[in-house]
Every structure is written in C-alpha cells, then in structure tokens.
Amino acid sequence: MPSTNLNLRRFCLLAVAAQFLFAAGIQGADTKSAGNKAAKAPVKFGDEYAGSDACQACHEDIYNNFLKSPHKATETDARSKWKQHGCESCHGPGAKHAGSVSAEDIRNPAKLVAEQTDRICLGCHLNQTTHAGRIQSSHMKDSVSCVACHKVHADGPVGLVPRNPEQVNKLCAGCHLNVMAEFQKPFRHKLPEDAMTCVDCHNPHGSSRPAMGQTFAANEPGCIKCHGDKRGPFTFEHAPVRYEGCPACHEPHGSVNPRMLVRHEVRLVCLECHSNLPGVTKNASAGVVPPAFHDLRLPQYQNCTVCHQKVHGSYIDRNLLK
Ligand code: HEC
Ligand code: HEC
Ligand code: HEC
Ligand code: HEC
Ligand code: HEC
Ligand code: HEC
Ligand code: HEC
Ligand code: HEC
Ligand code: HEC
Ligand code: HEC
C-alpha cells in the first residue's frame, strides 16, 4: 500500500523537522551534552553560585547518594562544565537559598511545568541515541516530564533508571491502569508475571513507529525481536503483515480470543478483508475475495488456516498454503 508508505515517510520528515526546530529552540540552555563530552568553556560561576560543598552542609544524605549516582559525573568529571557545582546544574544558582534556606529561592525541577523540566534535562541529554525520538513522543506532548519516570534522588543512587521488570511495569501501570487491565484477559503475554515489560514493546522516549512502538533492526516492529520467524523477507508476503502491522490481526495487550486474535474465530479475522463486504474495523482494507470453490457453508472451508498455514508470509507458495 504505497499510500501508507508515503504517509510514514511524511511523518518521519515532519518528526525530523520538529526535532530540528526544538533543538534550535533550546540551544540557549548553557549545559553540555552528556553524549558529547568535548570540553567547552566552563560556566562562569559568579556570586549567585554556592558550589556543591555548600549544599552538602545541609543536604548531606542527598549529597552522599549523589556521589554514588551516574550524575556524579557532572560534579567530578574533569571535563564537566559543572565541576564542583553539580547540584546547581539542575537546581540553578543556589547562593541565595543557601543563605535564606527558603524553598522559594531554589529551583526544584520536579515542581516546574513539564516543558521546563525537560529543558533542564535535555540540556545535557538531547543528543543521546536513546532519545532519538523523544521529541515527538506522546509523553512529551502530554506533559509527562523526565522526572515522572526518573527520580533523581528519591529512589536512591541506583534508582535513577527503572531497570528490573517489576519496577518498569509498576511505573507504567501507575498511569496506564486501563492497559494493565487488558493484560488480565485470558490470552496475553506474561507481563503481569513480570516475564516481560511494557518497554519490550514501547519506547517511553518515543519512536518513529505508531504508539511509540519499539523497533527492531531496520525499523521493523519490536515484536520481531522475539518472534523472529515472522520477519521474512518472504517471497510471498501477506500484505497486512508488512503494511498494517501485527495489530491488524492481534491484540498485543491481550485478548479473549486464542492466539490473541482480534476476532473469536480465525475465519472472521480473514473475512473482514477477504469478502465483498466493506471493511468493518479501522484496519480493514480490502484483500481479494476467495475463489468460488471456497464454499463457506461447508465446514472444511471454515478454518482458513488449516490450508493457508503460512498466514504471516510464505517462502514457496503465493496462496500462503505452505
Ligand atoms: C543552610 C542550610 C542549607 C543550605 C546550605 C542549602 N539548603 Fe537547600 N534547603 C534547606 C532547607 C532547610 C530546605 C527546606 C526548605 C523548606 O521546605 O521550606 C531546603 C530545601 C531545598 C530544596 C527543595 C526546594 C523545594 O521547593 O522543594 C532544594 C532543591 C534545595 N534545598 C537545594 C539546595 C542546593 C542545590 C543547595 C546548594 C546550592 C542547598 N539546597 C543549600 C537548607 C539548605
Ligand atoms: C540531574 C538533576 C539534579 C541534580 C544534578 C541534583 N538534583 Fe536535586 N533534585 C532534582 C530533582 C528532579 C528533584 C525532585 C525529587 C527527585 O527527583 O528525587 C530534586 C530534589 C532535590 C531536593 C528536595 C528533596 C525532596 O525531598 O523534595 C533537594 C534538597 C535537592 N534536590 C538537593 C540537591 C543537591 C544537594 C544536589 C547535589 C548534591 C542535587 N540536588 C543535585 C534534580 C537534581
Ligand atoms: C549537567 C548535565 C546533566 C543534566 C542537566 C542532567 N543530566 Fe542526566 N546525566 C548526565 C551525565 C553526565 C550522566 C552520566 C551518564 C552519561 O555519561 O551519559 C547522566 C545520566 C543520566 C541517566 C542515565 C543513568 C544510567 O544509569 O544510564 C538518566 C536516566 C538521567 N541522567 C536523567 C536525567 C534527568 C531526568 C535530568 C533532569 C532532571 C538530567 N538527567 C539532567 C548529565 C546531566
Ligand atoms: C514514561 C516514562 C519515561 C519518561 C517520561 C522518560 N523516561 Fe527515560 N527511561 C525510562 C525507562 C523505563 C528507561 C529504561 C529503559 C530500558 O531499560 O530500556 C529509561 C532510560 C533512560 C536512560 C538510560 C538509557 C540507557 O539505556 O542506559 C536515560 C539517559 C533516560 N531514560 C533519560 C530520560 C530523559 C532525559 C527524559 C526526559 C526527556 C526521559 N528519560 C523521560 C522511562 C522514561
Ligand atoms: C505520569 C504518567 C505516565 C507514566 C508514568 C507513563 N505514561 Fe505513558 N502516557 C501518559 C500520557 C498522559 C499519555 C498520553 C495520553 C494517552 O495516550 O493515554 C501516554 C501515552 C502513552 C502511549 C501512547 C503513545 C501513542 O502515541 O499513542 C504509550 C505507548 C505509553 N504511554 C507507554 C508508556 C510506558 C511504556 C510507560 C512506562 C515506561 C509509561 N507510558 C508511563 C502518561 C504516563
Ligand atoms: C507485546 C507488545 C506490547 C506490550 C507488552 C505492551 N504493548 Fe502497548 N501497544 C502495543 C502495540 C502494538 C500497540 C498499538 C496498537 C494498535 O495499533 O492498535 C500498543 C498501544 C498502546 C497504547 C496506545 C493505545 C491504547 O491501547 O491505549 C498505550 C497507552 C500502551 N500501548 C501502553 C502500554 C503499557 C502501559 C504497557 C505495559 C503495561 C504496554 N503497552 C505493553 C504493544 C504492546
Ligand atoms: C520480549 C519478547 C516478546 C515480544 C517483544 C513480543 N512477544 Fe509475543 N510472545 C512472546 C512469548 C515468550 C510468547 C509465548 C506465550 C507466553 O508468554 O506464554 C508470545 C506469544 C505471542 C502470541 C500468542 C501465541 C499463542 O500461541 O497463543 C502472539 C499472537 C504474539 N506473541 C504476538 C506478538 C506481537 C503482535 C508482538 C508485538 C506487538 C509481540 N508478540 C511481542 C514474547 C514476545
Ligand atoms: C493477517 C492477519 C495477521 C497478521 C497481520 C499477523 N498475524 Fe499472527 N496470526 C494470525 C493468525 C490467524 C494466527 C493463528 C494461526 C492459526 O490458528 O494457525 C496467528 C498466530 C500468531 C502467533 C502464534 C502462532 C505462531 O505462528 O507462532 C504468533 C506468535 C503471531 N501470530 C505473531 C504475529 C506477529 C509478530 C505479527 C506481526 C509481525 C503477526 N502475527 C501478524 C494472523 C495474523
Ligand atoms: C487487514 C486485512 C487482511 C486480513 C485480516 C487478512 N488478509 Fe489476506 N490479504 C490482504 C491483502 C490486502 C492481500 C493482498 C491482496 C492483493 O495482492 O491484491 C491479501 C492476500 C492474501 C492471500 C494471497 C492472495 C494473493 O493473490 O496474493 C491469501 C491466501 C490470504 N490473503 C489469506 C488470508 C487469510 C487466510 C486470512 C486470515 C487468517 C487473511 N488473509 C487475513 C488483507 C488481509
Ligand atoms: C481446503 C483448503 C482451503 C481452505 C479451508 C481455505 N482455502 Fe483459500 N485457497 C485454497 C487454495 C487451494 C487456494 C488457491 C487456489 C488457486 O490456486 O487458484 C486458495 C486461495 C485463496 C485466496 C487467494 C485468491 C486469489 O485470487 O489469489 C484467498 C484470498 C483465500 N484462499 C482466502 C481464504 C479464506 C478467507 C478462507 C477461510 C474462510 C480460506 N481461503 C479457506 C484452499 C483453501
């Protein structure tokens, strides 16, 4: 379906353009890129800065944990612009607060509007490969900031990135309760058992696929990472597998139907596209009508995949029979 392809390409172009514009917009932030550690002129610390030693005096636990966390690099790395001022890289100049001890005199990234918080973090994290798509993610558009998922101090020095499956699923479920509920259906992945996570299929920072889908190799759906036999390239492709993707026929979060199909019988999945009826689902696009010898009143023609075994694509048969 060339139009799908074209739309995707158009979308990618837009995304790249948006990213470029955004990057230009935040260049003013006087921070270095975490990815690119090339030395730049250090920040000139005037009287408004107190230095991390000053913070240590009153926030000792936070300070000590900080020196065990990945962000200690901002404080101690020889090439850091923020050497000995790591705290102020996120909190801004702190001398006034160190004198007044008033919360009003210091910036807390977690209390800002999401866009401002993201600017602080992206000041250093923009050019990392992990965030290639972040700018166009739904999370950014819907004001879910970096600190909604990354606690800088609150979860301790190793809690900055949720890594174990239980933590990740709990985090996502915190806001996406409805999705978590779909995983209670009878046919589903073993996500509630923490055998896999939302991040196996979604990139929380965004991606070039719909619904922030994870990608595999050259922009193929993340499903392929585990279901490699569905990858192809097949000599005889089944058009929807490539052009509409797995959710054309499967409910990835779980289904009441075997094989996580969108319909309770396989043939109903097929006939939605392979009949002369207009498509009834959002995904349905016309496939060819089965040849006349398919007498659908006869039981032997009702289970399509008994004959069309290679419904994801075939190496040898154009009718996906073997
Ligand atoms: C003399 C003691 C003292 C020093 C020095 C100090 N703080 Fe504080 N800080 C406090 C106290 C007390 C509070 C709690 C204020 C409140 O809740 O009203 C606080 C609160 C904060 C908060 C929370 C603000 C909020 O809105 O939630 C941040 C962030 C903070 N300090 C960062 C820093 C940084 C960064 C430095 C070093 C530049 C620093 N502090 C130096 C005593 C200090
Ligand atoms: C990478 C950015 C970053 C750096 C660097 C950083 N902080 Fe924070 N700080 C935050 C964020 C975000 C919060 C909100 C709470 C959280 O995420 O844990 C916060 C909260 C705080 C608070 C309020 C604590 C509370 O319970 O609400 C204090 C105090 C504080 N920081 C002090 C410091 C000190 C001292 C340093 C240096 C040792 C420092 N911060 C370095 C981002 C940072
Ligand atoms: C002054 C620069 C700077 C700022 C501002 C900054 N970071 Fe970082 N961040 C770093 C550096 C340096 C590292 C160490 C890893 C690296 O080299 O990329 C890091 C690492 C991380 C990691 C990865 C830890 C890991 O284990 O892989 C996360 C997550 C992170 N930062 C989140 C944030 C968030 C959230 C904010 C905003 C509240 C923020 N950072 C602000 C410089 C910064
Ligand atoms: C919706 C939740 C969410 C948001 C919002 C989010 N992250 Fe993440 N981030 C995660 C999760 C989950 C991981 C762990 C991913 C993994 O294990 O593959 C992660 C990983 C990271 C890492 C480590 C990459 C690695 O694999 O070592 C960095 C750095 C990072 N995030 C920075 C950021 C920054 C900067 C922002 C804001 C611009 C942000 N994140 C927004 C959930 C989020
Ligand atoms: C602080 C709340 C919050 C957390 C935590 C959170 N999300 Fe979201 N997420 C949202 C909001 C708000 C939206 C946008 C509205 C919507 O589509 O529901 C969204 C949208 C999404 C979408 C839809 C993207 C699209 O383009 O249709 C996916 C996928 C997603 N989140 C996955 C995750 C994953 C995976 C995690 C855990 C790493 C996570 N979210 C954690 C709030 C959150
Ligand atoms: C097996 C892979 C897979 C897993 C695991 C998965 N998703 Fe999805 N998710 C998808 C796919 C594929 C879509 C797109 C569905 C479509 O196009 O109809 C999607 C769509 C979404 C959407 C947007 C549409 C909607 O249904 O609201 C959200 C939000 C979302 N997922 C969140 C999550 C969260 C949160 C988790 C973890 C509890 C999760 N997903 C686990 C594959 C997965
Ligand atoms: C992290 C690996 C992983 C990813 C990613 C993944 N799956 Fe799965 N999938 C599995 C495993 C393992 C099973 C075996 C069933 C179980 O968990 O009991 C499975 C089972 C299935 C089944 C049901 C098979 C049956 O016999 O009932 C379908 C359909 C399926 N996956 C589709 C998808 C789709 C579509 C995606 C992408 C949106 C996807 N999977 C992503 C690991 C994965
Ligand atoms: C045109 C509809 C359709 C599309 C698109 C589709 N599937 Fe399927 N899939 C099916 C049907 C029908 C079955 C059940 C076959 C049977 O009953 O023998 C199935 C079964 C499966 C199974 C379990 C049995 C097996 O063959 O391993 C997995 C896993 C699976 N699909 C993964 C995927 C993945 C991954 C994608 C996307 C790359 C995908 N499917 C796209 C229709 C589809
Ligand atoms: C989302 C729509 C859709 C669904 C669902 C679907 N198909 Fe298809 N199918 C197509 C399209 C589009 C083509 C390509 C038609 C063409 O080449 O003109 C196709 C091609 C085929 C072909 C090969 C015909 C040819 O000449 O290329 C067979 C056989 C087939 N489908 C069987 C099935 C079976 C069996 C199922 C159910 C498991 C199924 N299809 C589900 C859309 C669908
Ligand atoms: C008893 C075995 C059998 C069953 C069951 C079966 N088919 Fe077929 N189907 C075939 C054969 C054999 C061909 C190839 C005919 C040919 O070579 O022209 C075919 C061809 C097709 C084609 C390709 C038409 C074209 O013009 O290229 C479609 C589409 C199709 N079947 C759909 C279905 C659907 C949908 C079902 C379930 C309702 C189904 N089939 C059930 C044996 C079967």
Give the helix ranges, DSSP H, for the chain. Answer: 2-25, 52-58, 60-66, 72-76, 86-91, 95-100, 114-125, 138-141, 146-149, 165-175, 177-182, 198-201, 239-243, 266-271, 304-307
Predicted model pTM: 0.92
Is the minimum distance from the CB of 134 to ligand 4 under 6 angstroms? yes
Torsions phi, psi of 236, nearest 5? -120, 100
Q: Of all atoms in ligand 9, which is nearest to the CA of residue 304?
A: 35
pLDDT, tens digit (0-9, with 9 covering 90-100), for 67-112: 999 999 999 998 999 999 999 999 999 999 999 999 999 999 999 9
Checking if the pLDDT of 116 tops 80, the result is yes
What is residue 232's predicted lDDT score, i.e. its pLDDT? 86
Average predicted confidence (pLDDT) for the chain? 84
Helix (H, G, I), strand (E, B) or coil at 216: strand
Q: Whose CA is nearest to atom 32 of ligand 10?
A: 290
CA angle at 46 for the pair 41 and 52, rounded to the nearest 5°: 85
CA of 129 to the centre of ligand 3 (A): 13
What is residue 292's predicted lDDT score, i.e. its pLDDT? 87
pLDDT, tens digit (0-9, with 9 covering 90-100), for 167-210: 999 999 999 999 999 999 999 999 999 999 999 999 999 888 88
Ligand in nearest proximity to the CA of 197: 6
Checking if the pLDDT of 279 tops 70, the result is no
